[in-house]
Amino acid sequence: MSQTNILLEAGTNELEIIEFYIDEEDYSGKKYRAYYAVNVAKVLEIIRMPKVTGMPSTPHPCVVGTFNLRNKVIPLIDLSLWLGKPMADRGNAKVIVSEFNKIINAFIVSGVTRIHRLSWDQVEPPTGYVSTFAANNFTGVVKFEDRIVLLLDMEQIIWDLNPSLAMRMEREREALIKAGSGTYKTLVVDDSNSIRRLITSYLVNDGFEVEQDVNGQEAWDRLSAWKEQAAKSGGSLFDHVNLLVTDIEMPAMDGHNLCKRVKEDPVLKELPVILFSSLINDRLYHKGLSVGADDQVTKPEIGTLAERAKKLIEGRVSAKPRA
């Protein structure tokens, strides 16, 4: 799959999604077409249905086997089985090969329609009926004139199938809290409740005091309010916050745009920012650098987050004031 311009830009609060569909069949035998999408940045390529090799045991019935793609053995997941909506016809099925958290997987779908370039403020969080049946499967909703497209949380699917592949939930406890180091006030931003709680639990256990927001816009509003309070009181921004940890993919305002705004602000620019996302890889690392991120941590590296955060905070405190 060729790169598009959006993969070379950062801080625009835009994304590109690949729209695809599954021809589903309900319990009465009625067929209908459901539309889904995933971030272009997570897609390596789209291929025809390959020759599949069965597996002696799988973590879930939706893992139908593996296939060989340029000397790489890739697990193949039947997305319709995962969603509990059997595919009506597999005759012309396509396979989306994806990479995130440095892991490659593939998903069977009925077909692929097109790429859309959107602003994150066009992506709505799942609400109502969608949120009741799809809280762990979808991250957002995009409304077009003739259809609704659900943004699929492929990462959550992989995590649920095999947590050790997507993120290590357990780690050996280390004595990371230095004597007399004090409490680090941190703002954690992520639209996934489970990921946000996970980050918070790791940081709190290592001596951090954590506030949480669900998207970049809410975080920007909170940071702006703290800046205003500090100015009125004659105090410092760092009386309110010492660190920002943010996801990249979020409705309303994404993490790259949030980081860019922070680093372009004359007061907020001193705040250390860590991007924490499955989108951080060798191909896209430069995007975080271009918006001024102080560090970038992939989700499987969560065990290193607290230590890296402390180094940034303590480095800022020990650094000489800028002219």
pLDDT digits (tens, 9 = 90+) for 95-105: 999 987 778 89
Identify which has the larger pLDDT, 2 or 289. Answer: 289
Minimum mean pLDDT range among 8-12, 141-145, 228-232: 8-12
Q: Please give the Cα distance from 274 to 262 (Å, whole number).
A: 12
pLDDT for position 106: 94
Q: Which of 11, 3, 44 is nearest to 253 (CA)?
A: 11
Local confidence band at 286 (pLDDT 50, 70, 90 cut-offs)? confident
Mean confidence (pLDDT) of the chain:
83
Local confidence band at 50 (pLDDT 50, 70, 90 cut-offs)? very high
pLDDT for position 159: 74
Contact assessment for residue 22 and residue 34, using Cβ atoms and an 8 Å cutoff: yes
pTM (2 d.p.): 0.74
pLDDT for position 256: 94
DSSP H or E segment with residue 192: none
Local confidence band at 272 (pLDDT 50, 70, 90 cut-offs)? very high
Local confidence band at 177 (pLDDT 50, 70, 90 cut-offs)? very low
Q: Please give the Cα distance from 240 to 250 (Å, whole number).
A: 24
Sheet architecture: strand order including 273-276: 208-213, 184-189, 243-246, 273-276, 295-297
- DSSP conformational letter for 127: -
Do strands 111-119 and 184-189 pair parallel, antiparallel, or not at all (unpaired)? unpaired
Contact assessment for residue 150 and residue 138, using Cβ atoms and an 8 Å cutoff: yes
pLDDT for position 258: 96
Tokens, residue 286: 């430069």
Cα 54 from chain centre: 30
Q: What is the pLDDT of residues 130-170, one digit of tens each?
A: 555 555 678 888 999 999 999 888 777 877 776 555 444 44
Q: What is the mean pLDDT of residues 18-31?
A: 85
Minimum mean pLDDT range among 1-15, 58-72, 144-158: 1-15
pLDDT for position 131: 52
Contact assessment for residue 263 and residue 244, using Cβ atoms and an 8 Å cutoff: no
45: β partners: 97
Looking at residue 113, its amino acid is T
